[in-house]
């Protein structure tokens, strides 16, 4: 394996660990792909990232599902809506520059970090939603909006899903994380379908990264299940702060 591929393999393993715990694996993989293949089209690198990630995300969802009761009444509708949103977002990559979203995403991430930090009990205890009809509507709305973002851009998708599932649907971090994984699998598959149909995948790179991402995902899921919601809350805050720093650098230093 040559040095660039080794670099991407190590990054994919790290991304798998982070993504399995709290989302944000794209924070690692996407910049690495862009730095390794600067001449490649953005759609090609986004497609390669999706294919590299979907195996690790699927593995995490399966491992969580073996230990937790998956809230399918939320995760199911959200995943279906997110698949549609992701397909539309992936198509939109060709029409609009994803970088135009950076200032908006940066603002949202700062608000998420402040809210989570100030609410010490945020996501530690489940608060079941009593209105099932409204619960389903919120799940669909969250799915299609975040699904579009994931197909169009991607970094921080898992973190946004976890935050919204906790804030609006009363989940704890552990159940929000497994629900986010199920939605992420759906968005990844929909986006991959678009990118593959346009031939925009680095297949060898994606295969190597997928294997490493899968191994990292198993490590991350084990850590999350062993240490629970409090651990995931801390990891969530770390990932969101890193995302803020990354988006700040991309927005103001270029």
Question: Distance (Å, rounded) from C-alpha 51 to C-alpha 242?
Answer: 23
Q: Residue 239: exposed, middle, or buried by beta-carbon count in 10 A (0-12, 13-18, 19+)? A: buried
- Is-contact 217 56, C-beta < 8 A? yes
Report pLDDT digits (tens) over 166-177.
999 999 999 999
Range of the domain at 30: 3-252
Q: What is the mean pLDDT of the chain?
A: 88
In this model, does residue 1 exceed pLDDT 70? no
Q: Residue 111: exposed, middle, or buried by beta-carbon count in 10 A (0-12, 13-18, 19+)? A: exposed
Q: What percent of the chain has pLDDT over 70?
A: 96
Report pLDDT digits (tens) over 72-91.
999 999 999 999 999 898 88
pLDDT at 94: 65
Question: Distance (Å, rounded) from C-alpha 181 to C-alpha 21?
Answer: 10
In this model, does residue 20 exceed pLDDT 80? yes
In this model, does residue 198 exceed pLDDT 80? no
Domains of the chain: total: 1
pLDDT at 141: 96
Question: Distance (Å, rounded) from C-alpha 99 to C-alpha 117?
Answer: 27
Question: Distance (Å, rounded) from C-alpha 30 to C-alpha 111?
Answer: 23
CB atoms closer than 10 angstroms to residue 137: 12
Please give the helix or strand (H or E) that residue 214 lies within, else none.
helix 203-252
pLDDT at 35: 87
Report pLDDT digits (tens) over 129-150.
778 888 999 999 999 999 998 8
């Amino acid at each position: 394996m040559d040095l660039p591929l080794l670099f991407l393999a190590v990054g994919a393993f790290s991304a798998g660990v982070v993504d399995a715990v709290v989302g944000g694996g794209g924070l690692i993989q996407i910049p690495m792909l862009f730095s390794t293949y600067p001449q490649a089209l953005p759609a090609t690198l986004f497609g390669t990232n999706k294919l590299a990630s979907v195996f690790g995300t699927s593995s995490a969802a399966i491992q969580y599902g073996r230990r937790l009761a998956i809230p399918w009444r939320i995760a199911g509708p959200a995943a279906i809506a997110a698949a549609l949103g992701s397909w539309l977002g992936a198509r939109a990559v060709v029409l609009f520059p994803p970088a135009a979203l950076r200032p908006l995403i940066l603002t949202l991430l700062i608000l998420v970090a402040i809210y989570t930090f100030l609410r010490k009990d945020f996501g530690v205890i489940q608060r079941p939603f009593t209105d099932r009809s409204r619960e389903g509507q919120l799940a669909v709305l969250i799915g299609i909006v975040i699904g579009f973002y994931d197909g169009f851009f991607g970094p921080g998708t898992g973190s946004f899903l976890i935050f919204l599932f906790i804030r609006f649907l009363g989940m704890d971090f552990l159940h929000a994380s497994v629900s986010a994984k199920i939605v992420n699998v759906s968005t990844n598959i929909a986006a991959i379908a678009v990118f593959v149909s346009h031939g925009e995948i680095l297949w060898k790179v994606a295969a190597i990264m997928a294997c490493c991402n899968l191994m990292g995902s198993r490590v991350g899921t084990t850590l999350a299940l062993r240490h629970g919601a409090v651990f995931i809350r801390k990891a969530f805050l770390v990932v969101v702060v890193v995302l803020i720093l990354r988006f700040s650098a991309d927005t103001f230093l270029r």
